[in-house]
Amino acid sequence: MPTRLPRRPPPIQELLERCGGLQETVPVLSLLANAAETDRYLHWDELRHRTPPQGLSHEQWWLAEKLSRRPTPLPLLASDGRAFWFSQPPVLLQGLHQIDMQAGASVVAPEAVTTRSTRDRYLLSSLMEEAITSSQMEGAATTRDVAKAMIRDRRPPRDRSERMILNNFLTMQRIRELRNQPLTPQLVLDLHRLVSADTLDDPADAGRLRPPGKEVVVDDAYGTVFHVPPPAEELPGRLEELCRFANGETPKVFIHPVVRAIALHFWLAYDHPFCDGNGRTARALFYWAMLHQGYWLFEFISISSVINKARSQYERSFLHSESDDNDLTYFLLAQVKVIQQAITSLHAYLERKAREVGVLQQRLGGLDGLNHRQLALLRHALRHSGFRYSVLSHQNSHGVSHQTARSDLQKLAARGLLRAGKDGRREIFRVPEDLAARLPG
């Protein structure tokens, strides 16, 4: 079923004339202030289907809403030369405050991500989750288990889907290294090259802006055009402006850091400066911005997994912003909700893992000498009967030496908790189907 384009709002000047001008609208604003729903920021396409407050007409209600929205201009210009802007309704301010309280620089870290024995494992898990989901959003078709095994084993990718996932994983690692560096056009090109290497129809497109003659549109399988990006000739200048904004040089007013990161995500998606890989690069820049601005918890958070569950809301917020006088507030609100859900998911994940460790520790109470790495492997093994571990995969999962990883696996095999074997010349350790029965309790 094709996606429906939102109904564009009627022009404000036309509404003012129809509603009797500003003099007649002021009382309407007063009425609306008393009846306003502070947890909503409605687009005309939604508002026109709702019952207006205080017996107002839909046109009066929309006019009052629009006149109450105080714009803060952004340096991002639409294709027609008009600036994008945003307002700050209470629902946005509340969401930004909650993100600051839950993921800002002053937030006390959960124990699981400060303890060395678990931090690296959770970090690897989050990087893999973001890499896999972000790639699946762009068409990668590979199961999570296969993708994770490829990353852990450092196996070369076998097809385009696996290459996309590995590229995303390497890009997320690179962003962690770049967090303290300013953004430059060359850095954006380097990130695109990393995220798209060996996945494009024309390999020369990796790490370069759309050349003249390679204009693109954003559409669906039914031919509905949702967005026409700026022409290729404008892209170098627009990329310079994007970097100035990312580094806080523009505008000359305070922009909340989360707003800046989300706007950066939107900006690159709007400009669509590459022939392919724009979505993955936009999300990569969002992560760079959050880490660069001190939101350290985003090392462990995957936004793509949340976006992927509600793709239609993500796409609709983009269309609402573009169709309503370049009001970015719709996209900001949608992404703030995504971030809040991602933070909630992380905390739920950490709590669930803590409970699982507690239960497993009880079951393993009769076994002496198990370290945290072996405990983590057994927790995974209990959910993946028949899974095969290699020395290299265990080594990469926990950041230990080859000998330490081999010793961990051999000791588990000696206790009958893994089955040692060979895959060619490679030593492997397989999960026995009756592992749960082999554990005490």
CB 283 within 8 Å of CB 303: yes
Quick check: 338 and 21 in contact, CB under 8 A?
A: no
Same domain, 237 and 329: yes
Residue 277 to residues 59, 174, 246, 288, 410: CA-CA distances in angstroms? 41, 17, 20, 17, 43
Question: 213 and 331: one domain?
Answer: yes
Give the mean model confidence (pLDDT) for residues 411-439: 90
Digit-coded pLDDT (tens) for 232-257 = 999 999 999 999 999 999 999 999 99
Instruction: Return the pLDDT at 264.
Output: 98
Report the DSSP beta bridge partners of residue 419: 430
pTM score above 0.85: no
Q: Output the average pLDDT for the chain.
A: 87
For CA atoms 132, 328, 260, 219, the dihedral sign is: positive
159 and 181 together in one domain:
yes
Q: What is the pLDDT of residue 88?
A: 95
| Contact assessment for residue 283 and residue 265, using Cβ atoms and an 8 Å cutoff | yes
pLDDT of amino acid 17: 75
Domain assignment present for 333: yes
* CATH assignment of the domain containing 264: 1.10.3290.10
Kindly report which listed range (18-22, 34-38, 128-132, 372-376) carries the lowest average pLDDT score: 34-38
353 domain residue, yes or no: no
Task: Mark whether 109 and 234 lie in a shared domain.
Answer: yes
Contact between residue 271 and residue 279 where contact means Cβ atoms under 8 Å apart: no
Using an 8 Å Cβ cutoff, are 265 and 303 in contact?
Answer: no
When pLDDT is cut at 50, 70 and 90, the band that residue 221 belongs to is: low
Q: Is residue 362 part of a domain?
A: no
365, part of any domain: no
Q: Which residues, 6 or more positions from 144, have their beta carbon under 8 angstroms from its beta carbon?
A: 132
Find the helix or strand (DSSP H, E) in which 144 lies.
helix 144-153
| In a shared domain, residues 211 and 103 | yes
What mean pLDDT do residues 111-137 have? 74
Q: What is the reported pLDDT for 27?
A: 62
Residues 85 and 63 reside in one and the same domain: no
* pLDDT at residue 1 greater than cutoff 50: no
Confirm whether 246 is domain-assigned: yes
> Which carries the bigger pLDDT value, residue 222 or residue 383?
383
Give the residue with greater pLDDT, 112 vs 192.
Answer: 192
SS3 call for 247: coil
407 contact partners, CB below 8 Å, separation of at least 6: none
Angle of helix 257-271 versus helix 329-363 axis, rounded to 10: 110
HSE of 179 in the Cβ direction (CA atoms, 13 Å)?
Answer: 15
Phi, psi of 392 (to 5 degrees): -65, -40
Is pLDDT above 70 for 299?
A: yes
d(CA 166, CA 161): 9
Tell whether 294 and 267 lie within a shared domain.
yes
Mean of pLDDT values over 315-321: 94
pLDDT digits (tens, 9 = 90+) for 371-418: 889 988 988 888 787 889 999 999 999 989 999 999 999 999 999 999
8 Å CB contact between 418 and 381: yes
Q: What is the pLDDT averaged over residues 414-423?
A: 93
Q: Give the model's pLDDT for residue 438.
A: 85
Give the side-chain half-sphere CA count within 13 A for 128. 21
**Residue 325 belongs to some domain of the structure:** yes
In a domain, 160, yes or no: yes
List the CATH number of the domain containing 381.
1.10.10.10
| Structural domain boundaries, residue 228 | 80-348
Q: pLDDT tens across 146-159, in order?
A: 898 898 888 999 99
Q: In whole angstroms, what is the distance from residue 1 CA to residue 360 CA? A: 47
Contact of 225 with 218, CB cutoff 8 Å:
yes
pLDDT digits (tens, 9 = 90+) for 35-94: 555 678 999 999 999 998 877 888 888 888 888 899 999 999 998 899 999 999 999 999
Q: Which of 348, 380, 407 is the last residue of a domain?
A: 348
3-state secondary structure of 120: helix
Q: How many structural domains are present in the chain? A: 3
- Judge if 160 and 95 occupy the same domain: yes
Poorest-pLDDT segment among 24-33, 180-189, 338-347, 393-402: 24-33
pLDDT band at 368 (very low <50, low <70, confident <90, very high): confident
Please tell me what DSSP assigns to residue 143: -
What is the pLDDT, as a whole number, of residue 160? 93
Does the structure show a pLDDT above 70 at 339? yes
Tokens 């009627």 — which residue? Answer: 10
190 and 225 share one domain: yes
Q: Does residue 303 lie within any of the structural domains? A: yes
Residue 114 has pLDDT above 60, yes or no: no
